[in-house]
Homo-oligomer: A and B are copies of this chain.
Amino acid sequence: MKRHEVFAVAQLGPIHLADSRARTVNRLIDMLREAHGRGATWVTFPELALTTFFPRYIYDTPEEYDVFFEEGLPSPAMVPLFDAARDLGVGFYLGYAEKVQQDGRTRRFNSSVLVGPNGDILGKYRKIHLPGTAEPIGDLEFEHLEKRYFEVGDLGFPTFATPSGRFGMCICNDRRWPETFRVMALRGAEVFMLGYNTPTRNIHHHEPAYLREFHHRLSLESAAYQNGAWVMGAAKCGAEDGFAMIGGSMIVAPTGEVVARAASEDDEVITHNCDLDMGAYIRRSVFDFARHRRIEHYGPITQQTGVEIPE
C-alpha cells in the first residue's frame, strides 16, 4: 500500500523594509489557500518569512533590530496564518526570527516551527549552521550578519512524529552540511523541510553567479539521495529593496530527483503528490544504515571541528 500525499512549497518573492507584517502574512495565507486548493496537506514556507532578510543590514542595538523578531508562538502577527491553516486542516513549516526569555535572559534565534494539520504545535528548530559574520566586513553593498543577531541553535536536529510520518527541519545554510541531514535521518526523518534566503552574490569571494543555484540544488539532491528522504526547499527570493536573492524552490524525491521547481522569483506555490514509501527501498538496500554504516571509522566527524593534519 502506498502512502501518497500532496506536499506544497510556498516560495516568497521579496519583502521590502516598508512592507507590513499584516501584508506579508496575507501573502502567506493566499499561498496556503492555493496549496490547499491543489490538494496539499503540508506547506513549507521560507526562512525568516515574515520580514525582509534583515541580516544584510548593520544594526547596533536591540532597539533597532527587535522590530524583526517575533515573541510568543504564535506571535500576534502569526495568528491569522495559524487560524487559516487550522481551519483548512493544513500543516506547515514557518521560518521566523525568535526572541525568547530563556535562562534568565533575552535570547534570539533563527527558528522554524512545525504546526500539524489540526493546529497543534509539533515542535521548533533553531538554526545551527549560522553563516556570515558577527562584525561587518565593510566595503560591501550588503553584509551577512547572522552571527551578530542570532545565537547558535540549542535544540540539536530534532525530528517530529506527524500524521504523515516523521519530519525534520533545517534552515538555509544547514543544507550545505551533510551532517544536518544524516542526524535527522538517523532519527527517522522521512521528510526534510527547509527554508532559505540566499543572496545571488557570494560576498565572501568571487565566483560565477550560476554556481549559487547549482550548489543549492546539489545540496538538496544529495541530501535526499543519501538519506532516502523527501526534501521540501522554500526560498525567499527576488530583489528586496534592490538586494537580489536566488529562487529555485524545489521538491526533491528520495532518489535525488527534482520533481517540482519554482520558475519565478516571486510568490509561487509548487506541489507534488509524494509517495512517502518511495525512500523505503533505498533505506532497505543501498542506504540500509544498520547494515552498511561503519561508525568505527567515522570518529573525526564528531571528535574534531576543523582540519587536523595527521603526523
On A, residues with C-beta under 8 Å from B are 128-129, 131, 152-153, 156-159, 166, 176-179, 182-183, 185-188, 202, 204-205, 207, 211, 214-215, 218-219, 221-222, 225-226, 255-257, 281, 283-295, 297-310
Report A296 CB to chain B, min CB distance, Å.
8
How many copies of the chain does the oligomer comprise? Answer: 2
- Partner among B159, B187, B297 whose Cβ is within 8 Å of the Cβ of A128: B297
Contacts of A188 in B (CB 8 A): 307-310
Check A286–B183 contact: CB distance below 8 A. no
Q: Which residue of B lies closest to A158 (CB)?
A: B310
Q: Is the CB of B302 within 8 A of A290?
A: no
B286 & A295 in contact (Cβ 8 Å cutoff): no
Given A128-B294, A292-B129, are A307 and B222 neighbors across the interface (CB < 8 Å)? no
In the complex the two chains form, what is the Cα distance from A91 to B128 in whole Å? 42
Give 14 new A-B contacts, CB below 8 A, not counting A166-B309, A187-B300, A188-B308: A131-B292, A176-B287, A177-B293, A183-B297, A187-B310, A188-B310, A202-B286, A204-B281, A221-B222, A288-B306, A295-B302, A295-B304, A298-B302, A299-B302
